[in-house]
Amino acid sequence: MFKRTFWFGVGSVVGLGSSVYVQRRVKQVAAKVPDRVQRQVTRTAKRVGGDLRGAVTEGRQAMADREEELQAQVDRRTARRPDPS
């Protein structure tokens, strides 16, 4: 249990740190490029973000469907077993 908590904490800190680094780096680079390029990058980032959100939503739905399917299999197996009493 401790290992799982420890590595969850490490992953969270690394994720947060890299997120802050990327945000700062994007601001630094954005200050150096022309407005036209900034607008193009912004549009592309919004499109990719939308695609990513859609993929995550689809993945979550697929996981929920699979979980329901597995639960139905378990329910069928337990229903077929004779009562041991």
Which amino acid is residue 48, in one-letter code?
A: V
Structure tokens of 8? 């969850």
Q: How many whole angstroms separate alpha carbon 34 and alpha carbon 39? A: 9
Q: Where are the domains of the chain?
A: 34-79
The better pLDDT of the pair 1, 61 is held by 61
* Nearest partner of 48 among 40, 10, 19, judged by Cα: 40
Residues in contact with 30: Cβ distance below 8 Å, sequence separation at least 6, in sequence order: 38, 41
Encode pLDDT of 43-74 as tens digits: 898 898 889 999 999 999 999 999 999 999 98
Integer Rg of the chain from CA: 23
Amino acid 14: pLDDT = 82
